[in-house]
Structure 1
């Protein structure tokens, strides 16, 4: 397996862990990650300001720092909303990575740390290797 395949496989495992942790470990409703799923994609609105700003804002909302901070705040406050947020956010990030949507590079929305997304897997004007 390639490193990207390993990263995607581990992300699928993490998504399952985040999805199960809510109802099994905390007794939360199973549907919370689904209800909140698209909320984290609001970070893509940064692309209104261009690819560099878009990548920065998108990446801020699509890494594990936010869920870890929310879980830490839960540990200090016991506020269930914070753990629900942490689990739903972690689930979102893991599902995205499992599907191949990685952290964005500043040159193009479809260029991620996991490679190019989309059919061509290359930006407009470039040729795929071997083409």
Structure 2
């Protein structure tokens, strides 16, 4: 699991550095950084729907597809938004928040999350 968390930290660092290199506005970065977490509202409709919404917003597939679409269309003005999305996913993964299983929010591909699980070696 440590490798997956380090991978998340690496994605966070590279996407944040790329955002800086692109000349992105840091106010926008701060304002939009947590937008993918709005997907948590899916849990209001149950754990299965919540997991689907969360995973759609927190999988690398979404920003990769957006990046390819921007590259193919030549619309580089939206690149900073994709970099913020990558940074958010990397941040979550570095903290141990993985993609969710349909059994509940605490069950992720990086293991169970929660206070009682944080104390275990």
**TM-score when normalising by structure 1:** 0.82
Structure of higher RCO (CA pairs closer than 8 Å, 6+ residues apart): 2
Structure 1 or 2, whichever has the larger Rg, is: 1
* Range that drifts further, 11-20 or 34-43: 34-43
Q: What is the root-mean-square deviation of aligned Cα atoms in Å?
A: 1.8
1:34-49 mapped onto 2 (5 Å cutoff): 34-49=30-45
Instruction: Confirm or deny: 8 A CA contact 1:67 1:85 kept in the other structure.
Output: no
Query: Which deviates more, 34-43 or 55-64?
Result: 34-43
* Residue of structure 1 equivalent to 2:68: 72
Unaligned runs of 5+ in 1: 123-128
- 1:69-92: per-residue Cα shift (whole Å, max 9, x none)? 221122133334421121010000
Are residues 1:117 and 2:87 paired? no
- Following TM superposition, where does structure 1 have runs of at least 4 consecutive aligned residues deviating by more than 6 angstroms? none
Could you say which residue in structure 2 is the equivalent of 1:126? none
Counterpart check, 1:63 vs 2:66: no
Name the one with the larger helix percent.
2
Q: Which runs of 5+ in 2 are unaligned?
A: none
| More strand per residue | 2
Q: Give 1:83's match in structure 2, choosing from 61, 64, 79.
A: 79
Which TM-score applies when normalising by structure 2? 0.89
The answer for the alignment partner of 1:106 in structure 2 is 102
For residues 71 and 99 of structure 1, the distance between their equivalents in structure 2, rounded to whole angstroms, comes to 24
The more displaced of 79-88 and 14-23 is 79-88
CA distance in 2, matches of 1:84, 1:78: 14
* Equivalent pair of 1:33/1:89 in contact (CA under 8 Å): no
Tell me whether 1:9 sits opposite 2:10 in the alignment.
Answer: no
